[in-house]
Structure 1
């Protein structure tokens, strides 16, 4: 089942874009983390990207780094994370579920075992944040054997050779960066490269999802005008988790409101 393709096809018919929130599993704890994921999915998320906590998330800014630390402080195991992911899959049969992880965690599991666990948990895709496409061959081949789609990041300054590789090997969607650097809303600069988007569209029908630094509806409207298929946002959600750590009810309510607002703003041109 290609959940990304099926979801995008349905959204396209309705002229709606993909809304993919990102959260770190286990932040602030597993019980609340599950409630947050359910809130997002029940209030507009078309897919979900879930981060497995890591001690040195180099691609992430301070907001997501702190989320990783909060989750790690609970000392959950990888097996517990996969158990939760399996439960999420059972509850949301048609929801595309992607995993964001760092290479050391994959190596610690063993590449073969890791992708087998992804398959058994019903995951759709894996993005390994610190593995560029040029070094991804062993991960890519193993992922394919277990029917897991590989997600690759497309930087805003991508050259033609790299872009061709990303188009060729990406499955599920292409993750287009709004800017270079690390995640976070502290840097509000948002770039929408119509040149890159047009090149991708001329060679593939794969959805283009833009992420990094997206935190308000004005940015979303600008991004969608460039012709992308949707957005990924994480830091703006995780800021709400941090802000309302001591008030779970308000935290969930604020995340619900944000999810509804963002989903209603994401429209295809």
Structure 2
């Protein structure tokens, strides 16, 4: 049984969906991002989706683009990200950890080496957002050989053929996109057509379905679960909290009272957000 399977089965027994926050590893620094991740887990995140910084994040809106830039400026490369994940994995052996990584990195590293490195760090799944499912076969083969779940996106208003292909290729979970466009809390999600898409995916024995893009409020999580999704992923809203506090964190002297105060404010805001979003995953009778 994989960590994802165990998580979804546990949540189903208790009448809950999953809430999965996304943050960028290395934002605003590798050390501080690790503190952010621990705050999310402590507040009740069921799993994590973690980004690896990249210079051309075509699927992301401005908020997450800024997170890529901050992390790159702080020197967070793939090796540094794996080190952070490895430490988190050792502290949380049962927590599902997914990574969102743009396709250039796996290509440059070599697919077999890339997925083997992910597995060694304790990563459960990898979503490559700029690789469509029709081009996914080499990625899926290398991922499965390494024991990593390949995750693919089910776009809104997809054809039945595309949904069937996503269902067949995905392991761990399916990332159902709530609307056309890029990530961003400034554009609301939509559950229109989600119930039909979920039904089609389930007919093809797909992995559990998570709704993402534009999920920033508890009522959107509740709507996603009511529409049949197994949970929701929130990225830009989480990253925006880090972004608001990043300038003060980076300018404050390390080890000083000022930095400790800002860090406490940021982690407190993150935890309040996660608790509210998680509470909205409870299924109504």
Q: TM-score by structure 1 length?
A: 0.97
Please give the per-residue CA displacement for 1:6-59, whole angstroms capped at 9, x wherever unaligned. 110001000011111100000011111001111111111111011000011000
Quote the offset at 1:189 in angstroms: 4.2
| Residue aligned with 2:55, SS | coil
Pair 1:97-2:112 in alignment: no
Please give the per-residue CA displacement for 1:201-245, whole angstroms capped at 9, x wherever unaligned. 233262110000011112222222101100000100111111122
Q: 1:222 aligns to what?
A: 223
Runs of 4+ in 1 over 4 A off after TM superposition: none
Residues in 1 aligned to 2:195 and 2:119: alpha-carbon distance in whole angstroms: 35
| Residue aligned with 1:215, SS | coil
Q: 1:251 aligns to what?
A: 266
Root-mean-square deviation over aligned CA pairs:
1.2
Residue segments in structure 1 that go unaligned for 5+ positions in a row: none
The structure 1 residue matched to 2:278, chosen from 243, 252, 263, is 263
Q: 1:156 aligns to what?
A: 156
Pair 1:131-2:134 in alignment: no
Quote the offset at 1:77 in angstroms: 2.8
Quote the offset at 1:268 in angstroms: 3.1
Trace 1:42-191 onto structure 2 (pairs within 5 A). Answer: 42-191=42-191
Residues in 2 aligned to 1:165 and 1:29: alpha-carbon distance in whole angstroms: 38
Residues in 2 aligned to 1:218 and 1:19: alpha-carbon distance in whole angstroms: 13
Q: 2:251 aligns to what?
A: none
Trace 1:9-20 onto structure 2 (pairs within 5 A). Answer: 9-20=9-20
Q: 1:21 aligns to what?
A: 21
Q: 1:203 aligns to what?
A: 204
Residue segments in structure 2 that go unaligned for 5+ positions in a row: 249-261
Q: TM-score by structure 2 length?
A: 0.91
